[in-house]
Amino acid sequence: MKLDQHFVGKLFNVKSPHDVTLYPSDSERARLERNFRGKFKEELKLGAFVSYSGNKKIPFLRLYRYKEAFSYNLVKEFLKRFEATEQDYVFDPFSGLGTTLFTSMLSGIPSIGIDKLPIAYFVSMTLPKFLLLKEGEMKKLWEKLKKWVDESDPADVALDVPIMRNAFSEENLLLLRKMKSAILKLDSPYKELFLLLFFSILEECSFTSKDGQFLRLKKDKQPSHPIEAMQRKVVQVEEDVSNAKLLYSGLTIDENIIPKVEYGDTRDLSNVEFEKEPTIIITSPPYANRYDYTRTYALELCFHFVRNFEELKAIRYGILRSHIESRLLDDEYPPHPAVKEVVELLKSKKLNNPRIPHMLTAYFVDMAQVIEQWHKVLSKGAKVAVVVDNVRFEGEMVPVDLILSEMAENVGFNVKEIIVARYKGNSSQQMKKYGRVPVRESILIWEK
């Protein structure tokens, strides 16, 4: 159920976005709330834009459901607020689906993105190529491709990953493996375009569902037939090709405007080949909410990007440490007093997962490094918009928006605004135990 944000506000009795009463008055978190009091701005109309659901009607962006994405309209809005022109250079250091890059391209602004998850890197890079299609092209190719599936050998996939053993019926698994081999026979860019569609049907052809924290097994689910699912995707692409002609008429796609995407780690930008110093960042990091992208996107990764479980785990431990299996090094400590405060409080409680304090420390160590890197590569006067969620564990609120903003100030950014776009609820368990508290989802506006 989608909650109306004003209703949520009433439910939680939100009086103001900065709520010092949540914390003891002499605590670090209360100090942060007081410190940033003047920067808060509540704009709940932006709430609908901070999630992927806004992309469901946007040609091509709707093809691959990247649950953690924000929407086309959010990027449009901030390009407008930042008065972006063709002279700007937009950077998304956590590109995901590539919403920022795709939207910048449609606005005629050059951009660059990086992501450390192979499927996200692939999708960011491939989506803009759909704009080069002519009407009927994909439909014609699909008719040919369909016939190759039966005679193709099943592609190798990472079958030693536990979820792969239960995710599919035998028939669907075999058909999907053959379909992948058939797709690989195509030339570029059609190979990549069909691969993207292929990844987008894996969930519906399986007994799994990407809900919340996990890729859940749902044995009572009725999986789609791969050929029928792909057929529907091709119909969607054809609809998008003709709609794009109307929506984006006048847009000339040339080399300069196709976003550049690198497979990389935003904790170290020293080797990224920027055309010039970026002038704008519009981004959203992983949230400190325990979700593990390598689990949510395990089917895609196992079908194409990793050969075995070891390689999957290497990706898991290589991405930003926002999930529960994150490893903390012996010489790493909370990099901010508010993080130290929360971590110490949590350590004294009985947690449903004892690794939460480690994860929080590692998350903020990583984010401190990320913010420092951004400051290094951006041009003077560059504008930054970061969408981020606060989190709450065992009743302890972590004001991620304020901690990141203070870290940004410490390296030289000017914090202009903290826009509250949504209030989220808590898990029913937390509410029962610790009462109802609204959790902010904010857009942080910084300037170099």
Binding residues for ligand SAM, per CB under 6 A?
66, 68-70, 94, 96-97, 99, 114-117, 120, 265-267, 284-286, 293, 319-320
Q: What are the two backbone dihedrals, phi and then psi, of residue 406, each rounded to the nearest 5 degrees?
A: -70, -35
Compute the least distance from the CB of residue 29 to ligand SAM, in Å.
Answer: 24
Task: Quote the least distance from Cβ 94 to ligand SAM, whole Å.
Answer: 3
Nearest residue (CB) to ligand SAM, 233 versus 323: 323
Q: Which is nearer to ligand SAM, 99 or 200 (CB)?
A: 99
The residue among 238 and 325 lying less far from ligand SAM, judged by its C-beta, is 325
Nearer to ligand SAM, 172 or 390 (CB): 390
Minimum separation from the CB atom of position 335 to ligand SAM (A): 16
- Closest-CB residue for ligand SAM? 96
Smaller CB distance to ligand SAM: residue 99 or 206?
Answer: 99
CB of 185 to ligand SAM, least distance (A): 29
Report the nearest approach of ligand SAM to the CB of residue 140 (Å): 30
Strands 396-398 and 414-424 turn out to be unpaired
What sign does the dihedral 19-20-22-27 (CA atoms) show? positive
Closest distance of CB 114 from ligand SAM, Å: 5
Give whichever of 37 and 80 is closer to ligand SAM, judged by the CB atom.
80
The residue among 172 and 326 lying less far from ligand SAM, judged by its C-beta, is: 326
Measured from the CB atom, is 317 or 333 closer to ligand SAM? 317
Residues in the chain: 448
Between residues 60 and 168, which has the closer beta carbon with respect to ligand SAM?
60
Q: Output the smallest distance, CB 387 to ligand SAM, in A.
A: 7
Least separation in angstroms between residue 268's CB and ligand SAM is: 9
Q: Quote the least distance from Cβ 367 to ligand SAM, whole Å.
A: 10
